[in-house]
Structure 1
Amino acid sequence: MSDELHVVLCPDSFKGSLGADSVAAAMARGVHAARPTAQIRALPMADGGEGTAELVTHTLGWEWHLSDVHGPTGTHLTAGWGYDPVRRRAVIDVASACGLDQVPADRRDPWQLDTRGVGELMRAAMDAGAMHLLVGLGGSGTVDGGAGMLRALGVRFLDREGNPLPATPAGLTGLERMDFSGLDPRLADVELIILNDVDNPLTGPHGAAAVFGPQKGLATEDVGIMDAHLGRLAEVIDASGRLLRPAGTPGAGAAGGLGFALACVLGGHSRMGAAYLADLIGLDEAIAAADLVITGEGKIDGQTTRGKVVAEVVGRARRMRVPVVAVAGDIACSEAQRAELGLADARALVDETVSLEQAMAEPARWIAVRTQVLLEEHLGRQSQAG
């Protein structure tokens, strides 16, 4: 290792605690505490969930826009999205328009909520000139199959007599047909990329209602009814001649069925969020010039290998023979599992000396402390080996 240490920081957010950029800043303080002369490159990461749009915009120097849209309950809210005017690319998070945190606890009834704001964000991006839309699925509070989004983009939902229906699941109980003649024609020329990290179909035991509905307030006894509603929605779309892919397509159940509307109805292309974003921000080039990579997320466990940021970072660094260490809020795996994942070392904020309450109260402080210890021990091992 050269005297001048080059470190790349590429953590995910610690959900409910710190955004990825704040995590990287705390890690940087820990690195400098251990090695003041270290050269640091911070490339905060995401997997397509909350914070993706802001992260991409900040990292790549895109413009940040604010739009007034309808939230999941129908009230107005301000949602941000990023835009690259040179290459006419836009990035949005569905959570900013229909996120679970946008729904008051006493109104978490998916039958009454919709995704209209997502379609309004897409229209705002196209109004600005976007020809490429990057949509991060994650953190949604809705289970409407993307009906609200389609309505905002010009699709009409009609009952037996041809009367228009509201696009909430409850409002579509009398759905008989759909009119796509008003669908925004610009969509035909727009490349639509969907960032996702789940492979659930729209319906069935692994579908949107069964897996994600209860997390969003859907009563257990209503899961089967909502599942049937989503199936009916797909049938009506198919009868309209607009179903481009079957409802069983992997990822169709993401974000309460938004994945279905985006991929199976609008023809979007699904990508694993962490991998796509790593390519977009140039992570490989940064790792290639590094002596050490430090990553992290709220929890490292058995799910980490399934398209999560830490696994993506480790996989890329391993190919270049660059060691990776991690800081996490909690580590729920054995040392053998950690080694199998490919991490040279890892530290949790919470241990026998720091409680969960302490870690949550001062996450940045403890991230910096754990990072400092990790780096000092890593450098110590390197010194002994040399």
Structure 2
Amino acid sequence: MHVVLCPDSFKGSLEADAVAAAMARGVHATRPTAQIRALPMADGGEGTAELVTHTLGWEWHLSDVHGPIGTHLTAGWGFDPANRRAVIDVASACGLDLVPEDRRDPWQLDSRGVGELMRAAMDAGARQLLIGLGGSGTVDGGAGMLAALGVRFLDADGQALDANPSALRPLERVDFSGIDPRLADIEITVLNDVDNPLTGPHGASPVFGPQKGLAESDIEAMDRHLACLAESIDAAAHLQRPLDTPGAGAAGGLGFALDCVLGGTARMGAAYIAELIELDAAIAESDLVITGEGQIDGQTSRGKVVAEVVGRAGRLNVPVMAIAGSIACSDEELAAFGLADARALCDGSITVEQAMAEPARWISARTQALLEEHLGS
């Protein structure tokens, strides 16, 4: 029996590779001779760079960069020297978890560290940058990242401004004359799973701002700030795509800077990762696929890892089962979604606290129970 394991991380409790390892123990408890291929997945969120690097055997690099509050930190990124590709998580340089709760004011935060990671990758020889947008803690429209790449933001007197939203209030002009010339020859692929525009009711400020600490009373002001930033960049003749480009609002507007300003190509993260690790070829040689994520619900079908796995396995006529922290849909909905079956850690027999305390144990147990029901013990 050949089994492919391709779960996402269980956010807040277990990384994707550890989830796959726990599933493998559950499979072997039922079928000791099963041949297992573990291909943990991601959708462009936190952990994408490390997962790609580990799965594909790339080099892991560490760089000193500025975090979102301006302090120095060490951020990791992956590099494929043979093909001159690098993979970066924006969360490693401007992630929400890098901002102390008492400092979560997006007006004072910036994405400078992301640009510094991009420069480090180019210094190493990268010609293609894969950038995962999940988990950011900033709403600066990517201004900090652009500043780290040589863009200058100027007031009416031509004085340079810091790149956080508060400091950019007197912005009059954006100067691209000093932008890193290597960017002209760099292919940027942005890994994302949202389609929000930069501004408006579905933009970065109202949708993502509050979860990053933006006060409700400041949402409109931040939205206006992002619009002014984009208008200034447009006036400098460096806006390559319009504000309403899907995904421009991702990661507090980093999607805008990467796609609309630097000309990157946006891809749904889970689909791109699946292609990168050659998931289809592995599924085609398998008898069963097991995937999973923290919660299976109505949002799962919208570009998440489980949906991507189910779609690919379905086209190859290979059954898919899933393990989740919790399941918020009916058996009928799961079947309609394309899953042969699914099990939740929190199925009424244990508490959320128990599941969070020992996630690997319960993932193994639920995997074993799932297979015993379908294949026999």
Q: 2:369 corresponds to which residue?
A: 373
Secondary structure (helix, strand or coil) at the match of 2:369 reads helix
1:243 pairs with 2:236:
no
Deviation at 1:52, TM superposition (A): 0.2
Task: Read off the aligned partner of 1:245 and give its amino acid letter.
Answer: R
Q: 1:104 corresponds to which residue?
A: 100
Equivalent of 1:69 in 58, 61, 65: 65
Q: In 2, distance between residues paired with 1:316 and 1:157?
A: 45
TM-score (norm 1): 0.97
Q: How does 1:5-16 map to 2 (within 5 A)?
A: 5-16=1-12
Q: 1:128 corresponds to which residue?
A: 124
Secondary structure (helix, strand or coil) at the match of 2:298 reads coil
Q: In 2, distance between residues paired with 1:136 and 1:194?
A: 6
Q: In 1, distance between residues paired with 2:110 and 2:10?
A: 27
Q: How does 1:336-375 map to 2 (within 5 A)?
A: 336-375=332-371
Q: How does 1:11-30 map to 2 (within 5 A)?
A: 11-30=7-26
Q: In 2, distance between residues paired with 1:378 and 1:351?
A: 18
Identity of aligned residues (%): 79
Q: In 2, distance between residues paired with 1:206 and 1:55?
A: 30
Equivalent of 1:310 in 306, 322, 326: 306
Q: In 2, distance between residues paired with 1:376 and 1:53?
A: 35
Q: In 1, distance between residues paired with 2:25 and 2:102?
A: 40
Task: Read off the aligned partner of 1:107 and give its amino acid letter.
Answer: R
Q: How does 1:1-386 map to 2 (within 5 A)?
A: 5-380=1-376
Report the aligned-residue RMSD: 0.7
Q: In 2, distance between residues paired with 1:22 and 1:190?
A: 33
Secondary structure (helix, strand or coil) at the match of 1:172 reads coil
Secondary structure (helix, strand or coil) at the match of 2:217 reads helix
Q: In 1, distance between residues paired with 2:243 and 2:92?
A: 25
Q: In 1, distance between residues paired with 2:119 and 2:152?
A: 16
Query: Please, which runs of 5 or more residues in structure 1 have no aligned partner?
Result: none
Query: Please, which runs of 5 or more residues in structure 2 have no aligned partner?
Result: none
Q: In 2, distance between residues paired with 1:193 and 1:340?
A: 32
Q: In 1, distance between residues paired with 2:32 and 2:353?
A: 30
Secondary structure (helix, strand or coil) at the match of 1:66 reads strand
Q: In 1, distance between residues paired with 2:266 and 2:374?
A: 38
Q: In 2, distance between residues paired with 1:352 and 1:237?
A: 53
Secondary structure (helix, strand or coil) at the match of 2:347 reads coil
Secondary structure (helix, strand or coil) at the match of 2:189 reads strand
TM-score (norm 2): 0.99
1:297-340 deviations in Å (ceiling 9; x for gaps):
00000000000000000000001110000000000011111011
